[in-house]
Amino acid sequence: MINKTIAELSKELHAKKISSVELTQQFLDRIKKLDKNLNSFITLTEDHALADAKKADAQIAKGATTPLTGIPFAHKDIFCTQGIKTSCGSKMLDPYISPYDATVVTRLKDAGTVLLGKTNMDEFAMGSSNENSFYGPVKNPWDLERVPGGSSGGSAAAVAARLTPGATGTDTGGSIRQPAALCGVSGLKPTYGRVSRYGMIAFASSLDQGGPLAKSAEDLAILLNAMAGHDERDSTSVDMAVPDFTATLNDSIRGLRIGLPKEYFDEGLDKNVAIAIQNAIKEYEKLGATIHDIHLPSSALSIPAYYVLAPAECSSNLARFDGVRYGHRCKDPKDLEDLYKRSRSEGFGSEVTRRIMIGTYALSAGYYDAYYLKAQKIRGLIREDFINAFKKVDVIMGPTSPTPAFKLGEKVSDPISMYLSDIYTIAVNLAGLPGMSIPAGFANDLPVGLHLVGNFFEEVRLLNVAHHYQKVTDWHTRSPKGF
Partner 1 sequence: MSLTAADVKKIAHLARLNMSDTDVEVYSKQLSSILEFVEQMNKADTTGIEPLAHSIEIAAPMRDDQVSETNQRAAFQAIAPQVEAGLYLVPKVIEGE
Partner 2 sequence: MEWETVIGLEIHAQLLTKSKIFSGASTAFGAEPNTQACAVDLGFPGILPVLNKEVVHMAIKFGLGVGAEIAAKSVFARKNYFYPDLPKGYQISQYELPIVGKGHLDVQLEDGTMKRINITRAHLEEDAGKSLHEDFHGLSGIDLNRAGTPLLEIVSEPDMRSAKEAVAYLKSIHSLVRYLEICDGNMQEGSFRCDANVSVRRKGDSKYGTRTELKNINSFRYVEKAINYEIERQIALIESGGKVTQETRLFDPAKNETRPMRSKEEANDYRYFPDPDLLPVAVTEEMIKTIRDELPELPHQKRQRFMEQYGLSAYDADVLVSSRALAAYFETVVEESGASAKLATNWIMGDLSAALNKENLEITESPVTTAQLAKLLQRIEDDTISGKIAKTVFEALWNKEGDVDHIIEKHGLKQVTDSSAIEKLVEKIIADNPEQVTDYRSGKDKLFGYFVGQAMKASGGKINPQQLNELLKKKLSA
Where is 382: in which H helix or E strand? Answer: helix 374-389
Q: Residue 334's binding partner, choosing from partner 1, partner 2, none, with beta-carbon cut-off 5 to 8 A by kind?
A: partner 1
Residues 231-270 that bind partner 1 (CB under 8 A): 232, 235-236, 238-239
How many C-beta atoms surround the C-beta of residue 55 within 10 A? 17
Please pick, from the candidates 300, 324, 357, 472, the single residue that binds partner 2 as defined by CB under 8 A.
324
Nearest CA to 92 out of 361, 358, 324 is that of: 324
Closest CA to 393 of 254, 260, 249, 299: 260
The residue (of 281 and 309) whose beta carbon lies closer to partner 1 is 309
The verdict on 88 binding partner 2 (CB under 8 A) reads: yes
Q: How far is CA 400 from CA 10, 56, 177, 191, 323, in A?
A: 30, 36, 7, 17, 38
The greatest distance separating any two alpha carbons of the chain, rounded to the nearest whole angstrom, comes to 70
Site string for partner 1, 35-74 (x = CB under 8 A): ----------------------------------------
Contact between 312 and partner 2 per CB under 8 A: yes
155 CA to centre of own chain: 8
User: Tell me, what DSSP letter sits at residue 268?
Assistant: T
Which 195-234 positions form the footprint of partner 2 (CB under 8 A)? 197-202, 204-206, 232-234
Angle between helices 6-14 and 46-62 (to 10 degrees): 60
Selection from partner 1, partner 2, none that 374 binds (CB < 5 to 8 A by kind) is partner 1
- Regarding 326 and contact with partner 1 (CB under 8 A), the answer is yes
**Binds 383, which of partner 2, partner 1, none (CB < 5 to 8 A, cut-off by type)?**
partner 1
- Please tell me the distance from the alpha carbon of residue 320 to that of residue 291, in angstroms, as a whole number: 48
- Contact between 95 and partner 2 by CB under 8 A: the answer reads no
Is 250 an interacting residue with respect to partner 2 (CB under 8 A)?
Answer: no
For the sheet with 186-189, list strands across it: 41-44, 114-119, 72-76, 166-171, 209-214, 186-189, 435-443, 446-454, 395-399, 257-261, 290-294
Q: Rounded to whole angstroms, how far apart are CA atoms 471 and 167?
A: 22
Beta strands (DSSP E) in 384-455 are: 395-399, 435-443, 446-454
Q: Does 426 bind partner 2 (CB under 8 A)?
A: no
- Per CB under 8 A, residues contacting partner 1 are 95-97, 99, 192-193, 206, 232, 235-236, 238-239, 298, 300-301, 303-305, 307-308, 315, 319, 322-327, 329, 333-342, 344-345, 348, 353-354, 356-358, 360-361, 364, 371, 373-381, 383, 415-416, 419, 430-433
- Per CB under 8 A, residues contacting partner 2 are 79-80, 86, 88, 93, 96, 98-100, 102, 197-202, 204-206, 232-236, 312-313, 315-316, 318-322, 324-326, 336, 340, 360, 363-365, 368, 372
